[in-house]
Amino acid sequence: MSDSTRIERDAAAWLARRDADGWSQTEQAQLDAWLQADTAHRVAYIRLRHAWQQADRLKALGAGVPAGQIPAKGEWTLSPFVNRGASNEETAASNAAPPSRVAGAARRRERERHASRRRSLRAKFAAVAACFALIVALGFGWFRYSAVQSAIYSTPLSATESVALSDGSQATLSSDSRVTTTMSRHERHIELQQGEAYFEVAKDAARPFVVAAGERRVVAVGTRFSVRRESDGIRVVVTEGVVRLVSSAGAPAQSDLRLPAGSVAFSGKDGVSVQSLAVDKAEEYLSWRGGFIQFRDTPLSEAAAEFNRYNARKIVVADARAGAVRVGGHFRWSNTDAFVRLLKEGFSIRAEQEGDRIVLHSE
């Protein structure tokens, strides 16, 4: 039995006992202690009590009560057929009977009252259990599987931001990025709508952490990784733990991939390619978190596109010869001028300022 089910059943038992005859101060103290022991106890008890009240204390138990009236506490199972007191004839008969017969009759009536109390308590507990089952059937599925908290996070161009998610995870958004988060009881769902985000995932084996980007999903429980949307696919970089790269619902089926730390995977229309690197080398793909970008024998066309992810002033490569020039180095992504100056001095590239563009030509 799960903890939540056990707590709900305990709450049902307390509710039945509370409204039975003979509730004592000792029992009240025990109930108070149980309620104070855990917030989940109070929530279960209040929710179940409210459901019972909303159902007019289960009208079925109030059969024989005039319409529109709710049976009073302690009288929910008393029907018109249960005597609330002795009739005049019974009283007269008892006065005329010998003392031994009177005492015997009194004992029988006392036993009947005790038996009636036990039957009443069992009936109340059964009713509470039935109410609890109804709550589970109608509401618990929704409570477990529906979204309980949603949020949207975004960054403007030339900015990065770290945000704390409601499950205890951390997300760092790159320039011009946007994610939506939906936290439910069975899944933590993140949709990367644009840009790139790095996630430090809080461990929760019962709720996988799923990042959806286009037709692919990245699934983790507790790990660190980034997901980046490109025009023709997504890139995943794993720096700790293991993630799974899977197809989204409705997308063409592809084999799931297990990506351990050090993996750099690209998924596009032509399939998936994976590099297995040392973790410190994989971290170089994420140097944007510190304000830098790094190139290793990278075509100038790709390097220019990387700078453009962070800056409003765009670098335009005017010809294929210039785009094929290979560059390397560690650059601050906010300092486009330093990068262009290096190209002019070391790679025989000519640069022209055209409004909010820097146009590069081969010489």
Q: In the prediction, which pLDDT does 340 show?
A: 95
Which of 255, 283, 311 is the endpoint of a domain?
Answer: 283
Q: Domain check: are 102 and 33 in the same one?
A: yes
Residue 225 in tokens: 């990784």
Q: Domain check: are 205 and 271 in the same one?
A: yes
- Cα torsion 134, 38, 43, 34 to 10°: value is 70
Give bridge partners of residue 340 from the DSSP assignment.
none
Q: Domain check: are 242 and 350 in the same one?
A: no
| Coil, strand or helix at 169 | coil
Q: Domain check: are 139 and 270 in the same one?
A: no
Q: Domain check: are 271 and 172 in the same one?
A: yes
Residue 266 burial by CB count (10 A; 0-12/13-18/19+): exposed, middle or buried? middle
Show the domain range for 87.
3-145
241 neighbors 209 (Cβ within 8 angstroms): no
Q: In the prediction, which pLDDT does 143 show?
A: 45
Give the tens place of pLDDT for each residue, 96-133: 555 555 456 666 666 676 666 666 666 666 665 655 55
Q: Domain check: are 17 and 151 in the same one?
A: no
How many residues are listed for the chain in this entry?
A: 363
Q: Domain check: are 102 and 43 in the same one?
A: yes
Which of 85, 113, 145 is the endpoint of a domain?
Answer: 145
Q: In the prediction, which pLDDT does 76 show?
A: 46
163 neighbors 170 (Cβ within 8 angstroms): yes
pTM comes to 0.60
DSSP state of 283: H
Give the tens place of pLDDT for each residue, 235-249: 999 999 999 999 765
Q: Domain check: are 52 and 24 in the same one?
A: yes
CATH code of the domain covering residue 242: 2.60.120.1440
Report the number of distinct structural domains present in the chain: 3
CATH code of the domain covering residue 329: 3.55.50.30
Low-confidence ranges of the chain (pLDDT < 70): 1-4, 39-40, 43, 47, 50, 52-111, 113-147, 248-255
What's the rounded Cα separation, in Å, for the pair 356 and 76? 80
Q: Domain check: are 224 and 308 in the same one?
A: no
Q: Domain check: are 218 and 317 in the same one?
A: no
Q: Domain check: are 141 and 7 in the same one?
A: yes
Which of 145, 167, 196 is the endpoint of a domain?
Answer: 145
Q: Domain check: are 120 and 242 in the same one?
A: no
Among 331, 236, 337, 342, which residue's Cα sits nearest to residue 291?
A: 331
What's the rounded Cα separation, in Å, for the pair 224 and 72? 58
Q: In the prediction, which pLDDT does 219 show?
A: 95
